Each structure stands twice: as C-alpha cells, then as structure tokens.
Amino acid sequence: MSEEESKRKKPEKRKVGRSLVNRSHLEGLRRAWAEKDLVLFLGAGVSKPYGIPTWKDLVLEIVFDQTDLARRLESIDLPFRRSLASWLVDYYEYDPIILARVVKNEIRRRASRSRREEDPHALFLEKVRQHLYPKHPPTPHEPTTLTAVADFIKKSGDQKGVAAVVSFNYDDLLERKLDGGIDFRPVWSARRSRERSLPILHPHGFLPQKGDVEECRLVFTEDDYHGLTTSVFHWALTSIVNYLRHNTVLFIGLSMLDPNLRRLLDASYVFGEIPAHWQIQKRHKIAPAEVRNVLRDIRDRARRFRKEMDIPPPDDIPELKEPVRAILEQADAYDRNLFESMGVKTIWVEDYDDIPALLDQISSPE
C-alpha cells in the first residue's frame, strides 16, 4: 500500500452499543487504564438524569425564588418554570453569569436586613442546596452515565484503573454511588490529606445533600470565576493543569464550552504532541420529529434578516433539509478539529446511552 493510500485508509472501528468508535481511541484509553494513568473529568451531563439542574437552570430558579414572582409561579411545575426562565434569558439575551451575581448579592442583602443573626454565606449555601437537589428526584432507567462511571471506578485497583476524578458539579451523587464500594475522599479546598484513597476534586465547590457546608466556597458568580482564574497558585487550577500535563484525561458529560477549561487546555498542550486526552460527545443530529420546527425557525430568521437588510424575498423558497444535514456534519468536523488543536480527541457516540458500554470496553481486556 502506497503512502497516499495509507493516508486515505479509514480508521478501524469497533461497535460500542449503537456507536462506531475508532479502535485507536479504545486502545489509548485501555493503555491509560492498565497503567492507572486515567483521570476522569465530569460535567453536568452526568448528574442531569437525576434531576440536578445545570448551573444556568440553578441560577434562574434562585432568581425567581428571590423575587415576588415566586408566589405567582407556585402553581406551575418545575419543568415549566425552568422553561419560562430559559425563554426569558434567551429571548432578552440576559447573561446568567450576571444574574448569578444578582442572586448572591440579594441573598446576602436580605440576611443583613434580617432581625435574626444569620451568616450570609451559610444562608447562600443553603439556598443553593435547596434548589440543587429536587424534592422528588426522577428515577432514570439504569445503567446511566453516573452508575457506569461509578462501576468503572470500582473496578480500579492498586496498579490499574482511575487515578483521580475531577467533578465540576456541586452535587454528591457520585460519592453516594461509590459509598462502600471503594475508598475515596472529596476534595474542595486547598487542605490536603495523606490518605491514599481516590481523590474526587470539586474545583467549583461541593454541596452534599446532607451535612455541614459552612466551610464550602462555591464558584458560582462572575467574581468567583475571576478569583479562580486569576490566582496562579489556586489549588484547583494547579491540580487540573497537573492532570492535563501528566495524565490521560477522559471528559464525560462536559459540553467543553467553558472558556476557562479551554484556556487550561491551551496552556497545558504542547504543539506537535499526540493528543493524550479524549472527550465523549454526541453527534450533532436533529430528531425526525423536530425537523419541521427547525426548518420553520430557519425560515422565520431568514424573513427577519431580509426585513432588516431590506432584501426582497426570492422567487423560490430553497429546500433546506440537505443544507441542514451538511451543516450538522460540518459542525462535527469543526468540533473535532477545534479540540484536537487543544490536545483532545473526540469519541463520537450516537446516544449517551452508549457510554456505559464504552466504559466497559475500556476496563475489559480484549
């Protein structure tokens, strides 16, 4: 086979659930597992099936709760409240990170005006915890990504498996799933332990559903993020960069849209090195039932743009299904190329339900 033919040869694939995964991706992650070099970075997608809100939804729920509007929305169930809040932010282009600062300041202001002696910080943490854990959590069909991650970690030993976990979530769902199955320790501050148990770092803070939280510092508002990212020797940044430089990282449940995370990836990546990290992402697709609504939305946007630019409508309305499909494929390519430039390869799955099968293949020999 010539060099040119070799370049054109498609990578060998392995069937994982309904997804086809490059064999080289599996082999790289298996090597990291066998050498106990693998570190998991977990995001909101891991906890979402259990009713844990995303940071954006959490902010908006507390915003509504802190205003007189809360009484008027009491009769509306949680999904509709979240939908209303999401619509408000998108329609008027509100920035949730600004609203988060409003929330924190309002809670502290109310605490300072209260006749009771209340610690504003403790009150803020309790308010966040109150909205973080749903009163009636759903019971998703298992295995979920969370249970698969917990089982994956439990297979670790002294010489193989997961070396550490970095969870950007406030919740303790993973810790509860691991309880009794493996020795671990949550880490949410600069205090260090000599224990050899598995560290589960919470760079943005840790709010267990039960117990004392007064010592916790949440990265919740814009100024909190500034404090995290501008401190060169912040314990969380030091740990994250260390893992990115010296370990193989698997990103699960993260959209990778956080500019702070991308900044750390850029800072830790040496150009020309083979990417040592992987992210799991779902391909850009539109469900058949949603196609009609998407096409209608595109046509409505086109009409608005024509009106703004004073351009008359075309003689014929173009067929949009094929252009939409092409754009979605291009979006896959953009994401793949973007993150490879930061040292992260992409494992595409057809559905997040394939993640348990993928983790099982990583931890199981051929």
Cα dihedral across residues 248, 46, 86, 289: positive or negative = positive
E strands, the chain, are: 13-16, 19-22, 38-42, 162-167, 184-187, 198-201, 248-252, 277-282, 344-349
pLDDT at 173: 97
Output the average pLDDT for the chain: 85
Q: What is the pLDDT of residues 201-237, one digit of tens each?
A: 999 999 999 987 767 788 888 788 777 777 767 888 8
Domains, in order of start, for the chain: 11-48+141-287+319-363 (3.40.50.1220), 55-132 (no CATH)
pLDDT at 66: 66
CA distance readout (Å), 82 to 104, 176, 209: 19, 26, 21
Q: What is the pLDDT of residues 269-292, one digit of tens each?
A: 877 676 689 999 998 888 888 888
- Average pLDDT (311-332) is 85
Strands across the sheet containing 184-187: 184-187, 198-201, 162-167, 38-42, 248-252, 277-282, 344-349
CA distance readout (Å), 216 to 24, 57, 64, 170, 212: 41, 21, 24, 10, 9
Range with the poorest average pLDDT among 116-125, 179-188, 327-336, 340-349: 116-125
Bridge partners (DSSP) of residue 167 are 42
Decide the pairing of beta strands 277-282 and 248-252: parallel
- Model pTM above 0.95: no
Which of 21, 26, 42 shows the shortest CA–CA distance to 243? 42
Contacts of 333 (CB under 8 A, 6+ apart): none
CB distance 87 to 64 below 8 Å: no
Angle at CA 18, nearest 5°, toward 181 and 41?
45
Sequential DSSP letters for 204-268: T----SSS--TT-----SHHHHHHHHH-TT-HHHHHHHHHHHHSEEEEES--S--HHHHHHHHHH
**Helices 259-268 and 235-246 meet at what angle, rounded to 10?**
50
Q: Report the first-to-last Cα separation within the chain, whole angstroms.
A: 28
| Residue 11 DSSP code | P
CB distance 149 to 40 below 8 Å: yes
The residue type found at 214 is E
pLDDT at 68: 57
pLDDT at 1: 47
Q: Which residue has the higher pLDDT, 306 or 37?
A: 37
CB distance 151 to 361 below 8 Å: no
| Residue 168 DSSP code | -
